[in-house]
Amino acid sequence: MSVTVTDATFQRDVLASVKPVLVDFWTDWCAPCKPLGVALDELSSEIGDKVVIAKVNAETSPGITSKYGVRGFPTLLIFKDGQVAASRSGAMPKNKLREWIEASI
């Protein structure tokens, strides 16, 4: 299962993580965010030993959303060693999402 991250927990859960972390920035009103969230939950179970899947609700955590310049939803950022290693905007099928994650970590 994915981890919910907020402005208050971002440092601990994402930047200080020993594993790569995929952060999904989403909102309640974003239609493509819902199926992407389901695919990410499934991938968390399948490849969670390689990468942490984290979700940030952009409306309730505006600080971190703004810090990383997220303006469109969904936006995915992969962090390695506390730095953004890859980014992607928009939804994609689960198989393409998995390929992108595995190539980026």
Whether 33 sits among the annotated catalytic residues: the reply is yes
Burial of 18 (0-12, 13-18, 19+ CB in 10 A): exposed
Query: What is the rounded distance in angstroms from the CA atom of residue 13 to the CA atom of residue 64?
Result: 13
Q: Name the active-site residue from 30, 36, 40, 58.
A: 30
Among 5, 33, 52, 56, the one annotated catalytic: 33
Q: Reply yes or no on whether 99 is catalytic.
A: no
Q: Which residues are catalytic?
A: 30, 33
